[in-house]
Amino acid sequence: MKIDILTLFPDMFTNFLTESIIKRAIEKEKVKILIHNIRDYTLDPHNRVDDYPFGGGDGMVLMPEPIFRAVEAVRDDDSYVILMTPQGKKYNQKEAYSLSHKKHIIIICGHYEGFDERIRSIVDSEISIGDYILTGGELAAMVVTDSITRLIDGVIAEGSHQNDSFNDNLLDYPVYTKPQDFRGMKVPDVLLSGHHENINKWRHEKQVERTLARRPDLLEKR
Ligand code: ADE
């Protein structure tokens, strides 16, 4: 899997790529993540990447030229192009699974007040990570990249994501570790019983209980 990220703020990705699971996935060559500065693709003599909107209005608009040229420089026959925008389809775990099977993903981070509408003509999908406005698509691109990378075979132990919240539209069950009694709060007896059937039953009940209390909308999807 290869992910090319097009951004005006490449430095924002430095820590993201050099810490924890993402760092290890890159080292193990499970994923290749390349960051490209959109500004490197402008033909403007002053390196401008944005301009005023036709028709007037506040804010600057990202021009199509540098984005088109950047995408053309990195795309091949297997590329899937994603635009990060609050106007996109709301992202979820199902989409993360589907993207984790792609060979090559190109993510365009929108910025400033907006981007020229013609950029939409070269993207396969538009993704929003939630109903709120970020200053740019960079954090959203990291969210999507992170959620995809952990699902790639061999990045984390298989069982670790089989029980994830949202698989089967159920939230995760509660988990405990040592000590058995922490400031009077005890680990439920069933988890110490060694009886696997009862443990699985308890966990499933807790998943349903928790989903019903916190995210009844998920149960309706089941
Ligand atoms: N850019 C700004 N806000 C965003 C959001 N909520 N999702 C994706 N990209 C964005």
Per-residue model confidence (pLDDT) at position 77: 95
Q: Average of pLDDT values for 81-107?
A: 97
Per-residue model confidence (pLDDT) at position 159: 75
Per-residue model confidence (pLDDT) at position 178: 97
Please tell me if the CB atom of residue 82 comes closer than 6 angstroms to any atom of ligand 1: no
Residue with the smallest CA separation from ligand 1 atom 9 is 85
**pLDDT of 124 over the 80 cut:** yes
Distance CA 192, CA 109 (A): 48
The 3-class SS string of the chain reads CEEEEEECCHHHHHHHHCCHHHHHHHHCCCCEEEEEEHHHHCCCCCCCCEECCCCCCCCCEECHHHHHHHHHHHCCCCEEEEEEEEEEEECCHHHHHHHCCCCEEEEEECCCCEECHHHHHHCCEEEECCCCCCCCCHHHHHHHHHHHHCCCCCCCCHHHHHCCCCHHHCCCCCCCCCCCEECCEECCHHHHCCCHHHHHHHHHHHHHHHHHHHCHHHHHHC
Please tell me if the CB atom of residue 130 comes closer than 6 angstroms to any atom of ligand 1: yes
Q: What is the largest CA-CA distance in the chain?
A: 72
Residue with the smallest CA separation from ligand 1 atom 6 is 86
Band of the pLDDT at 67, cuts 50, 70, 90? very high
Single-letter amino acid, residue 141? A
Per-residue model confidence (pLDDT) at position 112: 62
pTM of the predicted model as reported, rounded to 2 decimal places: 0.94
Please tell me if the CB atom of residue 137 comes closer than 6 angstroms to any atom of ligand 1: yes
Instruction: Provide, rounded to the nearest whole percent, the portion of the chain with pLDDT above 90.
Output: 90
Domains of the chain: 2-158 (3.40.1280.10), 164-219 (1.10.1270.20)
